[in-house]
Amino acid sequence: MDPAEFRRHGHALVDWVADYMERVASLPVTPDVEPGDIAARLPLRPPEEPEPFEAILRDLDEIVMPGITHWQSPGWFAYFPANVSGPGILGELASAGLGVQGMLWATSPACTEIELRVVDWLVDLLGLPEHFKMAVGPGGGSIQVSASDSTHLMHVVARHRSAAPADRLVAYGSSQAHFSVQRGARVAGFGHVRKVATDERHALDPGALEAAIEADVADGLVPAIVTSAVGTTGTGAVDPIGAIGAIAEAHGLWHHVDAAWAGSAMVLPEQRVHQAGVERVDSYTFNPHKWLFTNFDCNVLWVADRAPLGAALSDTAAIMRNPASESGAVVDLRDWQLPLGRRFRALKLWWVLRSYGARGLRHHVGEHLRLAGELAERVSEHPRLEHAAPTSFALVNLRHADGDEATDRLAAAINASGHSHVTASTIDERSYIRVSIGQTWTTAEHVDRLWTTIEENA
Ligand SMILES: *Cc1c(COP(=O)(O)O)cnc(C)c1O
């Protein structure tokens, strides 16, 4: 494909994506396929002869689209959002066009310098501590693949920092913590992972954490890290990070905050009460790729002090030696992650932050919060619906008053509507429905459409 052909097909593809944005609201959110249906449309062997790109693009409609779950439907209320935006998509395109590897400052200086500056901007946008900024220090942030691997990485750093053998190390998180906490600890070699009890709001109970740490110390184990959640995946519960931080400090634990989804809400100053105490945490991660209009993958991880991260991960392979690295004047981001190579993900984040501006981000996230608040009120007023857990940020947790079967039936009816999609789950062994509002193009109209379906089936 020469540049002229690329231009022609590229224009056609941009048109295709723009058309998709215009029609996604009218497509059924989930595809009607059985396992193997899509694979059955692909030949078993790779093509021997080159194919015209027109044919390849045609199969986007014929083969791919029938098997797509429309995460960008404004009726997407399932899991959490993975929202996108025009500037985010174009940033991905430009990054693909440049195709640079940002493992070292020297392998593409703009990739590192823009990333560090944009991640510093996010410190201001989310009201995080100044010392998280690379330009202030001693902390710093970078873009990682996902919240799960950032949480795993923090367990690796906590293990490295501790002198004790890994099989005596203990990691803590609440019983509602994302499974990446448990898995991250296990993969990092931790001998013990504690799921600490939660209170009636499903937030970690600091008294139970203190008791668990003391019991482990009495048994000769070494408590090394605790992860607090600002917004659990189940119900959006917020752990008290101030109280947890005080316990972590008293016992010498690394304190990591997983704000994967709810971190985006911190663009609104009035939401920051939910991260009170953040100025004393050791690390903090959140996903612009969930709720901040930036295409997956884009997760940010900050550490309050860069030294332990570098100590755990940096390495000096001969092939990577270069004058800039040796001068000490630059940061080589491969030292802050397990993979060597890294994409130019800062481009899309930079473009999103500039296109929306802080005001635009506050407006759009604020709208999602407002819509969730209105839906929560409707649930409160409905005679046959209940709140399964408090509404948290833009996540409404509801259930049918008649019990699990009625709740499961309601969830199935919503998902059968085609226009709206929710996730059915369980909390305390009872069914509930998660309505998570946050797709870029979701407006009152789409929440009304969901509500009508709820009312008709409740
Ligand atoms: C979504 C989520 C994660 C996982 O995020 P990835 O970036 O997909 O790894 C971790 N923790 C919480 C609380 C989440 O909601």
Residue nearest ligand 1's atom 2 by CA? 260
Question: Is 80 exceeded by the pLDDT of residue 262?
Answer: yes
Q: What is the pLDDT of residues 333-379, one digit of tens each?
A: 999 998 999 999 999 999 999 999 999 999 999 999 999 999 999 99
Ranges for all domains in the chain classified under CATH 3.90.1150.10: 359-457
Ranges for all domains in the chain classified under CATH 3.40.640.10: 100-343
- pLDDT, position 125: 98
- pLDDT, position 54: 95
- pLDDT, position 407: 98
Share of the chain above pLDDT 90, in %: 95
Whole-prediction pTM value? 0.97
Residue 238: CB within 6 Å of ligand 1? no
| 3-69: CATH architecture | Up-down Bundle (1.20)
The answer as to CATH 3.90.1150.10 being correct for domain 359-457 is: yes
Q: What is the mean pLDDT of residues 308-320?
A: 83
Residue 391: CB within 6 Å of ligand 1? no
- pLDDT, position 328: 85
Within 8 A by CB and 6+ apart from 85, the residues are 293, 294, 295, 352, 355, 356, 440
- Answer yes or no: are the C-beta atoms of 153 and 285 closer than 8 Å: no
Question: Is 80 exceeded by the pLDDT of residue 315?
Answer: no
For residue 37, the SS3 value is: coil
Question: Is 90 exceeded by the pLDDT of residue 325?
Answer: no
**H/E element, 395:** strand 395-400
As a whole number of angstroms, the distance between CA 94 and CA 305 comes to 32
As a whole number of angstroms, the distance between CA 355 and CA 349 comes to 10
Helix axes 241-251, 206-218, angle to 10 degrees: 20
Residue 258: CB within 6 Å of ligand 1? yes
Ranges for all domains in the chain classified under CATH 1.20.1340.10: 3-69
- Answer yes or no: are the C-beta atoms of 99 and 88 closer than 8 Å: no
Give the CATH number of domain 100-343.
Answer: 3.40.640.10
> What radius of gyration, in Å, describes the C-alpha atoms of the chain?
23
Least reliable range by pLDDT among 233-247, 257-271, 304-318, 396-410? 304-318
**H/E element, 158:** helix 147-161
- Answer yes or no: are the C-beta atoms of 259 and 393 closer than 8 Å: no
Residue 299: CB within 6 Å of ligand 1? yes
Residue 222: CB within 6 Å of ligand 1? no
The pLDDT confidence band at residue 258, using thresholds 50, 70 and 90, is very high
Q: What is the pLDDT of residues 406-422, one digit of tens each?
A: 999 999 999 999 999 99
- Answer yes or no: are the C-beta atoms of 209 and 244 closer than 8 Å: yes
- pLDDT, position 454: 98
Within 8 A by CB and 6+ apart from 18, the residues are none
Residue nearest ligand 1's atom 12 by CA? 260
